[in-house]
Amino acid sequence: MGIMDFFLGKPKEGPANAPGACAAPAATKPVAKPFSIAAKFDSLRLRAGRNSKIFLEVGVTNITSQKQLVSVDLGLPAKSNIGFDIACNQNYVEKRLGEVMPGATAKFSIPIYANERTREGSYTVEINAFSHYLDYRKVLSQMKKKVALRSVAAGR
């Protein structure tokens, strides 16, 4: 924008006026329930007592009328001998999904591993979905969901 454009009153180019800019405004106020969170495992159970993995498929649907900047945190119980890496040391992972339009669903899949020290039982996987303002450092809203992951003996 030049000096003459300023005096003549021409509209300035910016992210809101750029061609192809999104019509939906970004969320600026906290909402009690901004998402619908769906989670399922690709297999029913994780094999205990041997190296194995199972995939957790997570879907976050924006149920508001505004686009949302979304991230999802996943947590496993500490010292459970299951993890997001092959060594079963990583019990926490964050996925940044970007902007999700109203009514749209962002999906991702993440592996959960077991090793020889994994015991039979039920483990809680905690899913936290966050709505952000401007960047990922500012949180507007949060929703939690817990799902149970069963681990069974390898012989069954």
* Domain definitions of the chain by residue range: 22-153
Q: What is the pLDDT of residue 102?
A: 93
- What is the tens place of the pLDDT at every residue in 20-47? 445 555 666 767 788 999 999 998 788 8
On the question of pLDDT at 11 being above 60, the answer is no
Residue 48: band (very low, low, confident or very high) from pLDDT cuts 50, 70, 90: confident
- What is the tens place of the pLDDT at every residue in 78-129? 888 899 999 989 999 999 999 999 999 999 999 999 989 889 999 999 999 9
For residue 32, count CB atoms less than 10 angstroms from its CB and return exposed for 0-12, middle for 13-18, buried for 19 or more.
Answer: exposed
Distances from the Cα of 137 to the Cα of 28, 70, 84, 100, angstroms: 14, 11, 24, 17
Closest CA relative to residue 34, chosen from 148, 146, 144, 109:
144
Q: What is the pLDDT of residue 1?
A: 55
In whole angstroms, how large is the CA radius of gyration of the chain? 21
Second-level CATH architecture of 22-153? Sandwich (2.60)
Q: What is the pLDDT of residue 3?
A: 61
Average pLDDT over residues 8-23: 50
User: pTM score, two decimals?
Assistant: 0.76
